[in-house]
Amino acid sequence: MVELPLIARARAHEERIAIHADGRSYCYADLLRRSETIAAVLLDGRADLREERVAFMAPPGFDYAALQWGIWRAGGIAVPLSTQVTARELDHVLGDSDIKLILTTPAYASKLDPGPRRLLVIEEGTRAECSLPDIAATRRAMILYTSGTTSKPKGVVSTHANLQAQIEALVNAWEWSAEDRIPLFLPLHHIHGIINVLGCALWSGAMIEAFPRFDAELILPRVKADAYTLFMAVPTIYAKLVDLLGDGASDLAAAFGRMRLMVSGSAALPAGLHRRWHDLTGQHLLERYGMTETGMILSNPLQGERRPGAVGQPLPGVEVRLRSESGETLHGEHEPGEIQVRGPAVFSEYWQLPEITAASFEDGWFHTGDMGVMEDGYYRILGRLSVDIIKSGGYKLSALEIEAALLDHPAIRECAVVGLEDATWGETVAVAAVPEASAPPLVLTELQHWAKDRLSPYKLPRHLMLVEQLPRNAMGKVAKREVATLFTDGPCA
C-alpha cells in the first residue's frame, strides 16, 4: 500500500502526544484512527475519492488535523474554510472548487449554510474502517484561496509532493524534532498555520498546543511555564506582545528568551521591532519570507546572523532568482528585481485558471510579484509590484475584492481601496469614496457594519474618506499611490 509519508511517519510516534486542545491530549494513534474513520465515512463504499474536492471547517485543533488527514487518506483534495468566512465569500469558494460535500464538527455545523451541498457533521463516537486507496505524491492535495490581483480569490492547488517539499525544507532548516512543542493559534486556511506549524509539527512527531485564535490571556501563562520550544507568528502578534511586555525585565520576557526558536513571517518585520524584541527577551527573531503558491522561500539562518530587516537565503531545495523589468536575471548585489522561485515546493496551478497560471510562470520560474534585493549575502524584501495587494495582520487582502464589495453600498458611487502603513498591523485598509449625491452622508462605522456580511472581519475598512473625485492618471486609471497620500494629510471619517 502506498501511504502518504506524513501518515507513515505518524506510525513511528503512535504513543506521543500530537495535539493538546480544550484540556485534552490526543496522541498520534488517535489521529491515525480518527482520520481513518473520516476517510471510511467519506469513501462510503467507493475505492477512492479521485481528487474530489472536500471542504472542511474546524478551528485549530485535533478535529482540524483529523479532517485534513481523513480527506487525504480517502484520495480527496482538502479545501479548508476560514472560520470567519462570510456567506458571500463561502459561496465563491464552494462554487469555484465545485464542492459537493462540506465536513465539519458539531460546534461549527450551525455556522455553515451548505446550500445545495451536503453537510456532514462528524460526531465524536463515529467509528468506521475500510481499505484505503494508494495515494501517489503527484496527486493534488489542497486548494487554498488567496486574494491577489484579481477581484475574486484564486484557488492555489498544491500536490502532496509540493506540501512535502515545503515541510521538509523547514524541518531541515530549523531542525524540528519530536521533542519540539509549539502553540498553534494562526488561522488554518493559510499556509503559515497549515504548513509551518501544523504540517512541520506532525511530520516531526512534535507536540502542538492548539488555541482557537491568538488569545494572549491563555497563551502567555503557558509561555511562562516553558510549555513551548518553538513559536511562530506574524509581525502584528510580536507588535502586540511588545506592548504587553512593557519596558522592564519580567518572567514572561525571560521565558520567551529561553525558547529554542521564534520565527516571524507573512509580512515584513520592521527592523526596529526585531531589535526591540531582542532587547526585551534576548531572543533574535528568525524572519523568513514565503507565499501560498510556493511555501517558504527565504529564511534567516538557524545558526548564524539573523539580520534585522532581511530575510536571509533560499531554503533547502528552493531556487531563487531576481529579474529586472526587462527580463534579465540579476546576479549582482544591490540590484533590485522581482523575486522568482523554482523547485518541488512550488504549486501546480491556480484552480481552473490555466491562462493566469501560464502567465505566472516563465520556464518553470514562478513570479512572486514581490521585489527584492541582495545585500551582503542576505535578501531583503522591498515591497510588492501591485498596489492592489494589502497585507494587514499577516492576511493578504485584495483591494479589488474589497472595492467590488463596497461598490454595492447604495451611498457609494465610486471608491478606491488602499493600504496605509501601520505600526501594529503592517497596513490597514482605507477607502476613498465618491458618495452618491442623493444619499445620506456615509460614516465609517455604518460602512463597517454594512460590510460585515460581505467581507471577513480582517478585510473591513479601517479608514474612510469622502472625496468629490478620485485622483486619476492620464489614462483615466485611479492613481492608487495618490489615493494613499490623501489620507496622510486629509481628515478621515
Which residues lie near ligand AMP (CB under 6 A)? 146, 190, 265-268, 287, 289-292, 311, 368, 370, 381, 384, 391, 396
By CB under 6 A, is residue 79 in contact with ligand MLC?
Answer: no
Beta carbon of residue 290, minimum distance to ligand AMP (angstroms, whole number): 6
Taking the least distance from each CB to ligand AMP, the nearer of 391 and 409 is: 391
Q: What, of ligand MLC, ligand AMP, none, does residue 70 touch, CB below 5 to 8 Å by kind? A: none
Taking the least distance from each CB to ligand AMP, the nearer of 70 and 393 is: 393
Rg (CA), the chain: 23
Beta carbon of residue 69, minimum distance to ligand AMP (angstroms, whole number): 23
By CB under 6 A, is residue 392 in contact with ligand MLC?
Answer: yes
User: Residue 29 is placed in which grid cell?
Assistant: 494513534
* Selected binder of ligand MLC within 265, 312, 372, 419 (CB under 6 A): 265
Segment lying near ligand MLC (by CB under 6 A), choices 91-99, 305-313, 316-324, 391-399: 391-399
Q: What, of ligand MLC, ligand AMP, none, does residue 425 touch, CB below 5 to 8 Å by kind? A: ligand MLC
User: Residue 320 is placed in which grid cell?
Assistant: 531563487
How far apart (Å, rounded) are the C-alpha atoms in residues 308 and 491?
Answer: 34
Q: What is the DSSP string of 67-98?
A: HHHHHHHTTPEEEE--TT--HHHHHHHHHHTT
By CB under 6 A, is residue 394 in contact with ligand MLC?
Answer: yes
Please give the distance of CA 27 from its chain centroid, rounded to a whole number. Answer: 26
Beta carbon of residue 294, minimum distance to ligand MLC (angstroms, whole number): 9
* Selected binder of ligand MLC within 78, 428, 466, 470 (CB under 6 A): 428
Positions in 188-247 near ligand MLC (CB under 6 A): 190-193, 213-214, 234, 236-237
Indicate the burial class of 161 (C-beta count within 10 angstroms; 0-12, 13-18, 19 or more). middle
User: Residue 269 is placed in which grid cell?
Assistant: 518585520
Taking the least distance from each CB to ligand AMP, the nearer of 370 and 403 is: 370
* Selected binder of ligand MLC within 148, 153, 155, 290 (CB under 6 A): 290
Taking the least distance from each CB to ligand MLC, the nearer of 13 and 380 is: 380
By CB under 6 A, is residue 457 in contact with ligand MLC?
Answer: yes
Sole residue written with cell 531582542: 278
User: Residue 440 is placed in which grid cell?
Assistant: 445620506
Taking the least distance from each CB to ligand MLC, the nearer of 37 and 360 is: 360
Nearest one of 435, 441, 490 to 468, comparing CA atoms = 435
Q: What is the DSSP string of 124-149?
A: TT-----PPPP--TTSEEEEEEE--S
By CB under 6 A, is residue 145 in contact with ligand MLC?
Answer: no
- Give the H or E element holding residue 484: helix 480-489
User: Residue 50 is placed in which grid cell?
Assistant: 479521485
How far apart (Å, rounded) are the C-alpha atoms in residues 256 and 229?
Answer: 9
How far apart (Å, rounded) are the C-alpha atoms in residues 297 and 291?
Answer: 8
Q: Which spans of this chain sit near ligand MLC (rule: CB under 6 A)? A: 186-187, 190-193, 213-214, 234, 236-237, 265-266, 290-292, 392-396, 425, 428, 457-458, 462
